[in-house]
Copies of this chain bind each other. A is one copy, B any other.
Amino acid sequence: MIRHSRQRDAIRDAITRAGRPLLPQEVHQLAQQQAPRLGIATVYRNLQALQDAGEVNQVTIPGDSPRFELAEQPHHHHFKCTQCGEVTTLYACPGKLAALTPQGYQMHRHELTLYGHCVKCTQAH
């Protein structure tokens, strides 16, 4: 039987407030503002639980460990800043990707990641 917990709320809130995919460590840091003694194991446990419950999804940027974002978002892609490492959500898609698929192949989904400098890092020059 599933019980309510301050920690799980803090984790869900952190992901919601961020509006972008977060690494477990980022979730840990952000959620600690709301649940001070939060342990990293609890973060992993609840990310798993929230995923099983269909509340959050896993996002993997090439070369990085998985990040977590709210489920129930429209189709989107991501931008990773090569300076600060932050990942942003992009609500846009080039479309027409079926044309890239070779003869005889079946495409079911796609992932696109843009790389560059975010606003903060661009301005910091």
- Asked whether, in the complex, the Cβ of A105 is within 8 Å of the Cβ of B101, the reply is no
- Asked whether, in the complex, the Cβ of B119 is within 8 Å of the Cβ of A109, the reply is no
CA distance A63 to B67 in the complex (A): 11
A104, A106, A107, A108: most-surrounded residue (chain B CB, <10 A): A106
Q: Kindly provide the distance from the CB of A20 to the nearest chain B CB, expressed in whole angstroms.
A: 12
Q: Kindly provide the distance from the CB of A98 to the nearest chain B CB, expressed in whole angstroms.
A: 9
Whether A12 sits at the interface, judged by CB under 8 Å, is: no
Say which one of A27-35, A39-47, A86-94 lies at the interface with B. Answer: A86-94
Q: A residues within 8 Å of B by Cβ?
A: 60-63, 66, 77, 79, 82, 88, 90, 92-97, 99-119, 122-123
